[in-house]
C-alpha cells in the first residue's frame, strides 16, 4: 500500500503520525501540579496581597513635618525617621519612641523647655523689680512752735508703697502675641502653660498670627478665649 503512495503523500502521512504521537505523550505527561485539577479545569493560585499601610501626621520639632504613608505595625521611631528625625530644639522625651503607630494618629514632638537663666530673665522683663525709695526723714517740729501738726512718717511710707505696683502694671501694657515667650503669654487671662505651648508651636509652624480669628486654629482655643486674648494682647 505504501508503495502506491506518492512521495508527497508519504511526507504528509509521516507528519500526521508524528503529531498524533506528540499529542498522546503530551496528554499522558500532564499531572496534578501542571495547573489543572482532577476534572481538567485550570486552577489559579491567589497572588500575594499588598501589605496594608497607615497614614500618620508628624508635627512639631522634626525636620520634615507632614503626613506619611507607613506599613501597618510600625513604631513611633519609624515615623520620626520618615520625617527626617528631630530638630536641635526637639525634646526627645516628649514622645514614646517604642509605641505602635495607629492609622490617622498625630505625633507631636514638643520643643525643649527654656533654660533656667532665660526663664528668669523673661520673668524679670514681665515683673520688673522696683527699688523702694527710702522714706524721707522729716525734721520734727513742735506744734507749739510752728502751729502745724507733725507729718506722720508711717502714712508717707504707706502712700509711697502703693505707687511702684501701679507704675509696674501701667508699664507692662498688652502682651505682644507674635513676640511673647512662654511666661509672658500666661499673663493673658485664660491662657495657662499648656495653651501657651500650643500657641508657640503654632507660631513656629505657621509664622506670626495675621488676625485674632486665626487663633481658632490652635487646639484648645475657642471663641471665649479668643475674646480674652483680643482684649489683653496685640498682634504687633
pTM for this model (two decimals) = 0.34
Residues 215-220, mean pLDDT to the nearest whole number: 90
Q: What is the mean pLDDT of the chain?
A: 75
Residue 214 has pLDDT above 60, yes or no: yes
The more confidently predicted of residues 206 and 153 is 206
Q: From CA 234, how far away is CA 182, in angstroms rounded? A: 16
Residue that is written with C-alpha cell 500618620 in the block: 56
Residues 137-158, mean pLDDT to the nearest whole number: 43
Smallest CA-to-CA distance from 191 within 218, 165, 217 is with 218
Smallest CA-to-CA distance from 178 within 163, 200, 196, 154 is with 200
- SS3 label, residue 106: strand
Q: From CA 236, how far away is CA 43, in angstroms rounded? A: 74
Residue 173 has pLDDT above 90, yes or no: no
Q: Where are the alpha helices (DSSP H) in the chain?
A: 7-29, 76-82, 116-126, 143-146, 153-172, 182-185, 193-206, 223-232
Amino acid at each position: 500500500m505504501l508503495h502506491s503512495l506518492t512521495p508527497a503523500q508519504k511526507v504528509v502521512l509521516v507528519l500526521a503520525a508524528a503529531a498524533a504521537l506528540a499529542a498522546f505523550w503530551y496528554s499522558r505527561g500532564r499531572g496534578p501540579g501542571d495547573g489543572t485539577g482532577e476534572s481538567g479545569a485550570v486552577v489559579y493560585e491567589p497572588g500575594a496581597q499588598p501589605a496594608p499601610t497607615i497614614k500618620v501626621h508628624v508635627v512639631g520639632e522634626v525636620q520634615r513635618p507632614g503626613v506619611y504613608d507607613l506599613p501597618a505595625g510600625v513604631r513611633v521611631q519609624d515615623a520620626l525617621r520618615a520625617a527626617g528625625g528631630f530638630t536641635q530644639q526637639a525634646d526627645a522625651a516628649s514622645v514614646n519612641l517604642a509605641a505602635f503607630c495607629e492609622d490617622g494618629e498625630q505625633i507631636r514632638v514638643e520643643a525643649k523647655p527654656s533654660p533656667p537663666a532665660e526663664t528668669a530673665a523673661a520673668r524679670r522683663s514681665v515683673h520688673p523689680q522696683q527699688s523702694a525709695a527710702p522714706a524721707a526723714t522729716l525734721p520734727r517740729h513742735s506744734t507749739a512752735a510752728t502751729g502745724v501738726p507733725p507729718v506722720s512718717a508711717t502714712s508717707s511710707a504707706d502712700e509711697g508703697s502703693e505707687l511702684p505696683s501701679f507704675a509696674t502694671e501701667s508699664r507692662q501694657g498688652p502682651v505682644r502675641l507674635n513676640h511673647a515667650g512662654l511666661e509672658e503669654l500666661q499673663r493673658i487671662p485664660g491662657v495657662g502653660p499648656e495653651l501657651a505651648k500650643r500657641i508657640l508651636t503654632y507660631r513656629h509652624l505657621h509664622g506670626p498670627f495675621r488676625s485674632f480669628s486665626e487663633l481658632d486654629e490652635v487646639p484648645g482655643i475657642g471663641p471665649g478665649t479668643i475674646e480674652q486674648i483680643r482684649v489683653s494682647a496685640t498682634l504687633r
